Chains A and B, each alone.
Chain A
Amino acid sequence: MTRYIIRRLLLLIPVLIGISIVTFAMLRLIPGDPAQIMLGEHATREAVAEIRERLGLNEPIHIQYLRYIESVLRLDLGRSIKTNRPVLQEIGHRLPATIELTLGAMFVACLVGLPAGIFAAYRHNSTFDLATMFGSLLGVSMPIFWLGLVLAYIFGFRLKLLPPSSRLTIGVDMQTIAQAWGLPTGPTGPSSTRIITADEFFSGFYVLRAILTGNGRALLDVLSHLVLPSVALGSIPMAIIARMTRSSMLEVLGEDYIRTARAKGLRERSVLLRHALKNAFLPIITVIGLQLGLLLGGAILTETIFSWPGLGRLVVDRILYRDYPTVQGGVLVIALIFVVVNLLVDISYAYLDPRIHYE
């Protein structure tokens, strides 16, 4: 097992180098002078020269790349053209919102997809089965941004059941976790080394923050804001999980040990959940893990619809502002998370299935 993990980690190295080349090349491949494009047509020559100097665009290309790698390893992703704040700080402020949304979406997807798949397999070829399968086909065929808009219209605007945008109602206040627990909030004041404090980062997870600060009103508010984006973003994994659960369960339900379990007179519930589901779970777990990574891509669109202040929206907003250092940093961070999640899925798969040989 350890050897397998080490091998997987070694295989990661070329991928990481590749990611760094792609994100590095992004800025350099833009036709024309990146500094000029960022500042617009009317920029003074001095301003352009300053940006060129700041981005190191005057150096030979391989030196630029090595500089880039060096600064990334120092956790320095440069400064935003728009806000002049460190890119990593901007990302740190947005990342918790994206993670929270992704986990919310996966929760919704499992909550609906798993039981639907199990029941569809149990009632194979029934109306419910056909409806689930057709529903899951619709789910993967629907543009999530459109679903998001429709949900926001119906539940947010017409029925006024759930808030259609942002993460928190204006006027609902929450202390940060450190404030509530009487801990130091970290270094304050304009210090150049400070990027983001642990308190700022963890308090960015609003659900966690509301729970840890014991703020019931805020928790309800945060959760109600989370529902619609999670359903929209979760629609595709929901469909895929339902499909995978159904086919995996169908395979297992035909096995001899299920007949044995039934012959023993076990209750149907116990046969389904304890005997069948346990054995059918491996491919389902894999799909869930892989979808978790893919949600990061979908989050870009969902965040735009629901004015969700996450990483995806940061990237898209800053493309339009031509704030390329932020775009570059955002793409790098999302790709890194994606790779790490997929690696964890692979490793857990190997761990869960002893039949896989770790050559």
Chain B
Amino acid sequence: MNSVTRNLRSIFSKEGSPQSSLFLDAMRRLFRNKLAITGMVIMGVFLLTAVFAPLIAPYHPLKQELIMRRRPPSQEHWFGRDDLGRDILSRIIFGARFSLQVGVLSVGFAIVIGAIVGAIASFLGGWVDSIVMRLMDVMLAFPALLLAIAIVTILGPGLINMLYAIGIVSIPAYARIVRASVLTVKEQDYILAARAVGVPPTRMLVRNVLPNCLTPLIVQGTLGIGTAILDAAGLSFLGLGAQPPKPEWGAMLGQGRYSMFTAPHIVVFPGVAIMLTVLGFNLLGDGLRDSLDPKLRV
């Protein structure tokens, strides 16, 4: 008897539980995917840039030298200077903080609210489900950027309000995903088993149901961060997001666009920064989708 237990234990400790081996398998697939690795590297570079911005940036992002305005790239100022003579490279380095923050926080906000809303709707079903999902339909009836603009109009322009606006606009996507997954998971045998042994509904939802809905959330969340960064840049570009003198990339583009024809470098570099960051998240998101759930592959 003892030996049997020992054997079983050794099997589990060596091989891990079936779930963790699935997870390892997915990770192995992910790390074999060159594009996903590229995405991770890009993201890693921007993340480190954001964290260590004060150490990396050659100049202060807000220091103006009006006499040197719009100077093209040079050895001292690799990306040149902007309308107020500020160092563009330093501004882009500090700007990474804003873009990553807005992307991650707004998507995080949307996932938390979306997961709660979607889970409650599908778990309770009936009229709660109908009302909640119709509400989500209404939000999806607006082009995302337009709805975000409308929300910022109500809340007033600014970085934090933009963060909320983008977060709110993204809620329906996650609510729908969670609702659909919960509906599938709810019918599985292990949920029936949990119910049979008398696990209370809330605990079941948190411990058994939600973890099994994570895969599509992770994939959509990663891709969603890219979209959120793009939307944030668009709002800031229109003057509705981060306000000057914050070195937010979209705002830099918005303020620099009038000098485009005399000093194109003011516009080129922030745009490249946005594109690379979003590309990083998109590459990783695609890679995650392929490795976590091959069924989802497009």
A residues near B (Cβ < 8 Å) are: 14-15, 18-19, 21-23, 26, 29-31, 137-138, 140-143, 145-147, 149-150, 152-153, 157, 243-244, 247, 293-294, 296-298, 300-301, 304-305, 312, 315-316, 319-320, 324, 327, 331, 334-335, 338-339, 342
Assuming the contacts A149-B257, A335-B146, asked whether A140 and B282 have C-beta atoms less than 8 A apart, the reply is yes
Count residues of chain B with CB under 8 A from any CB of chain A.
42
In chain B between 246 and 263, which residues have their CB closer than 8 angstroms to a CB of chain A? 250, 253, 257, 260-261
On whether the beta carbons of B144 and A141 are closer than 8 Å, the reply is no
Minimal beta-carbon separation of B133 from chain A (angstroms): 10
On whether the beta carbons of B279 and A316 are closer than 8 Å, the reply is no
Is residue B239 within 8 Å, beta carbon to beta carbon, of the partner chain?
Answer: yes
* Additional 17 contacts, C-beta under 8 A, given A137-B279, A244-B298: A18-B135, A19-B142, A22-B150, A23-B150, A140-B278, A140-B282, A141-B230, A142-B274, A143-B275, A149-B267, A150-B268, A150-B271, A297-B144, A298-B145, A327-B153, A334-B142, A342-B141
Which of B138, B146, B240, B274 is close to A146, meaning CB atoms less than 8 Å apart?
Answer: B274
Nearest 4 A/B pairs, CB to CB: A18-B138, A297-B143, A146-B271, A141-B279
Which residues from A are CB-within-8-Å of B233? Answer: 143, 145
Minimal beta-carbon separation of B96 from chain A (angstroms): 15
User: Can you report 27 residue pairs joining A to B where beta carbons are below 8 Å apart?
Assistant: A14-B134, A30-B153, A137-B279, A137-B283, A138-B279, A141-B276, A143-B230, A143-B275, A145-B234, A153-B261, A296-B146, A297-B145, A297-B146, A298-B143, A298-B145, A300-B146, A300-B234, A301-B145, A304-B238, A305-B257, A319-B153, A320-B239, A324-B153, A327-B150, A327-B153, A331-B142, A334-B143
On whether the beta carbons of B264 and A153 are closer than 8 Å, the reply is yes
Minimal beta-carbon separation of A164 from chain B (angstroms): 9
Which residues from A are CB-within-8-Å of B234? Answer: 143, 145, 300-301
Which residues from B are CB-within-8-Å of A324? Answer: 153
Assuming the contacts A140-B282, A143-B253, asked whether A301 and B238 have C-beta atoms less than 8 A apart, the reply is yes
On whether the beta carbons of A15 and B134 are closer than 8 Å, the reply is yes
Which residues from B are CB-within-8-Å of A297? Answer: 143-146
Q: Identify the interface centre among B141, B237, B240, B257: most chain A CB within 10 Å of its CB.
A: B141
**Interface secondary structure of A, over-half rule:** helix
Is residue B156 within 8 Å, beta carbon to beta carbon, of the partner chain?
Answer: yes
On whether the beta carbons of A145 and B253 are closer than 8 Å, the reply is yes
On whether the beta carbons of B253 and A149 are closer than 8 Å, the reply is yes
Bound-state CA distance A256–B160 (Å) is 55
Is residue B137 within 8 Å, beta carbon to beta carbon, of the partner chain?
Answer: yes
Bound-state CA distance A138–B272 (Å) is 11
In chain B between 127 and 156, which residues have their CB closer than 8 angstroms to a CB of chain A? 134-135, 137-138, 141-146, 149-150, 153-154, 156
Minimal beta-carbon separation of A276 from chain B (angstroms): 18
Bound-state CA distance A91–B280 (Å) is 39
On whether the beta carbons of B274 and A331 are closer than 8 Å, the reply is no
Minimal beta-carbon separation of A231 from chain B (angstroms): 16
Which residues from B are CB-within-8-Å of A243? Answer: 298
Kindly report which residue of chain A lies nearest to residue B264, judged by CB atoms: A153
On whether the beta carbons of B141 and A339 are closer than 8 Å, the reply is yes
Which residues from A are CB-within-8-Å of B237? Answer: 143, 145, 301, 304
Which residues from B are CB-within-8-Å of A142? Answer: 271, 274-275, 278
0/1 interface trace, chain B 204-216, chain A, CB 8 Å (1 if under): 0000000000000
Bound-state CA distance A29–B161 (Å) is 14
In chain B between 151 and 176, which residues have their CB closer than 8 angstroms to a CB of chain A? 153-154, 156
Kindly report which residue of chain A lies nearest to residue B142, judged by CB atoms: A335
